[in-house]
Amino acid sequence: MDAWIVGIMPLSENGEKRIRKNLQYIRNGRRAHAVVIGHLTEVQLAKMNAERAQRGFPPMDPKIVFVGKHVYDSRITEDGYSVDDVIAQITSALNDGSVFHANPKMNSLVNETGREDGYGNLVFDEAVFECSVRYPKPELLSVIPKGDRIKPKKEHGPR
């Protein structure tokens, strides 16, 4: 197992920098490439792979990859969040204590500890994974700040 995987946080030491770089590429109209931003904990990976085994799917690796196009379009363009907001959402959702959730359409990690989002909301961040395109690595496809009734003002545009 890689040395950076032994830490307690699923986001790697340079994960934030890689996320920021990809989101900036997308903002500038450039194509972002898949980069490793962290890993699933042993518990999270075991739960994901147990659920996959029940459905007859092969196991996943712990390394999480990120491109960011869907995150950029949904959270920054549509909702008006800044890159820093999105990084906070991802960091929270990929917490070592986040709980694995599965349903027929997606696998996700949910941070069940609320986070003040700076807009007057207590949110529960959820990281949504796509597990087929970049198999065997789960791709962080989206992040959802559940409970964000008050969203940023869009007139300032993506930051």
Total domains in the fold of the chain? 1
Q: Domain span at residue 71? A: 3-148
**86 backbone φψ class: left, alpha, beta (φ>0; ψ -120 to 50):** alpha
Q: Is the pLDDT of residue 4 over 50?
A: no
**Model pLDDT, residue 9:** 61
Residue 93 CA to residue 89 CA, distance in Å, equals 6
Question: pLDDT (tens digit, 9 = 90+) per residue, 51-104?
Answer: 999 999 999 999 999 999 999 999 999 999 999 999 999 999 999 999 999 988
- Residue 154 resides in a domain: no
| 109 in Cβ contact with 93 (< 8 Å) | yes
- Residue 17 resides in a domain: yes
Question: pTM here?
Answer: 0.90
Average pLDDT over residues 120-145: 97
Average pLDDT over residues 121-138: 97
- Residue 156 resides in a domain: no
- Residue 60 resides in a domain: yes
